[in-house]
Amino acid sequence: MKRPEGFDPRPEQPAAPPARSPKPPKLPKPPQPAKISKKPRTAGASRTAGQAGARPGAQPIAEPTLQSTPQPTARPIEQPTARPIEQPTDSRAEQRQSARALRKAAAVRRRFERSEVKRFTRRSRRRRITWLVVLLCFVAVGGLVTGAVYSPVLSLKTIEVTGTSRVNKAEVLKAVDGQLGTPLALVDFDAIKKDLSRFPLIRSYVTESVPPDTLIIRIAERAPIAVIETPTGFEIVDPAGVVIKKTDERPAGLPLITLPTATTGAATSSMGFTSAVKVLLALPTELLAKVDSVTAQTLDNVTLVLSSGPTVVWGSADESAKKARILAILIANEPQATRFDVSAPTIPTFAN
């Protein structure tokens, strides 16, 4: 394991030994006097010796006269000034001190290394624990999801249908009962949509899953807007032209839409039917209750007939909300009028 640089403490350096004092210089020795023989030789003896050792015919060598060597005058020797000599430091003590410093630095380094190893080991241990906890959480969630999807404990046992008035609730329940026993998470909503499409009175629906075993279907039924007369009777239709109900007699409370075509299919898909429906949807509730019939020959020729008898020339379906407010004012101010014209809302007219 590579340690980061700069964390290792430097070992203490051993103290340098103290400098030794220089030794005093050596003094030159005084010159010694020449040694003189205490027994001087005599001249006769020298000659005799020379004659004795001389060869025949050799001339005698004159013996040099010995002179006494003068004695040198003794001078007093100057004694060097005594200087204090520093005691040398004990080398063994220095070695012991250096060894102790090295051991101390090594101990500090070992403690630092142990602390670093513990720190990195603790971090790696925490990381492993974190990954283990995350893995266990994923496994637990996967197990719960699997249990919710495939466990029979969460299978569909109850289906509730709300919002029905004209639609038969029992028939709706019978149409979707094929989903019973299916795990709630595996309910086939496409199959439910196909089963409910057989009911023309259902305009829309919303499903809600309520664990552990309930499915709620909230139905919005189609609202009738008018009645269309056909050769076979009367048909109650909604704003989309869907036939809600067929009757032999005209139902009360709904305006009759009169169209130029006699066939129901062509009538609900014509532009006249679309314009008539737009006008009826723009009328307020109080005014809509007074409408007996609506005639729409073309897109711009819509005429209303009120239950009290007056006729209202409406024109096109444009600005229907504004025309409805003006018509309400005219009816309130002119109750005796037999004809109202609001096709031009800026200049409405009426006739008695």
Q: Which of 38-42, 145-149, 260-264, 270-274 has the lowest mean pLDDT?
A: 38-42
Q: Cβ of 207: how many Cβ atoms within 10 Å?
A: 15
- Nearest Cα to Cα of residue 306 among 238, 260, 352, 256: 256
Is a pLDDT exceeding 90 seen at residue 70? no
User: Which carries the bigger pLDDT value, residue 16 or residue 190?
Assistant: 190
Residue spans of the domains in the chain: they are: 91-150, 154-221, 226-351
CATH class of segment(s) 154-221: alpha beta
Q: Which of 35-39, 140-144, 251-255 has the lowest mean pLDDT?
A: 35-39
Specify whether the CB–CB gap between 313 and 339 falls below 8 A: yes
What's the CA gap between 102 and 96, in Å, rounded? 10
What's the CA gap between 48 and 60, in Å, rounded? 10
The residues, any chain, with a CB within 8 Å of residue 298's CB and separated by 6 or more, are 271, 272
Q: What is the mean pLDDT of residues 272-296?
A: 88
What's the CA gap between 216 and 281, in Å, rounded? 31
In the chain, the percentage of residues whose pLDDT exceeds 90 is: 16
Is a pLDDT exceeding 80 seen at residue 29? no
Confirm whether 154-221 and 226-351 share one CATH topology: no
Question: Tokens 């050792």 label which residue?
Answer: 53
pLDDT at 46: 41
Specify whether the CB–CB gap between 222 and 242 falls below 8 A: yes
What's the CA gap between 280 and 327, in Å, rounded? 13
Q: Which of 70-84, 141-155, 213-227 has the lowest mean pLDDT?
A: 70-84
Helical residues (DSSP H) of the chain, grouped into ranges: 43-53, 91-150, 169-176, 189-196, 264-268, 271-282, 285-288, 320-333
Is a pLDDT exceeding 70 seen at residue 73? no
What CATH code is assigned to 226-351? 3.40.50.10960
pLDDT at 85: 52
Q: What is the mean pLDDT of the chain?
A: 77
User: Which carries the bigger pLDDT value, residue 352 or residue 106?
Assistant: 106
Is a pLDDT exceeding 80 seen at residue 141? yes
User: Which carries the bigger pLDDT value, residue 77 or residue 157?
Assistant: 157
Question: What SS3 state is found at 51?
Answer: helix
For strands 291-298 and 256-258, give the pairing: parallel
What's the CA gap between 73 and 332, in Å, rounded? 171
What's the CA gap between 219 and 199, in Å, rounded? 11
What's the CA gap between 203 and 165, in Å, rounded? 13
User: Which carries the bigger pLDDT value, residue 177 or residue 185?
Assistant: 177
pLDDT in tens, 246-278: 888 888 889 999 877 544 445 677 788 888 888
pLDDT at 215: 93
- Nearest Cα to Cα of residue 200 among 159, 249, 162, 166: 166
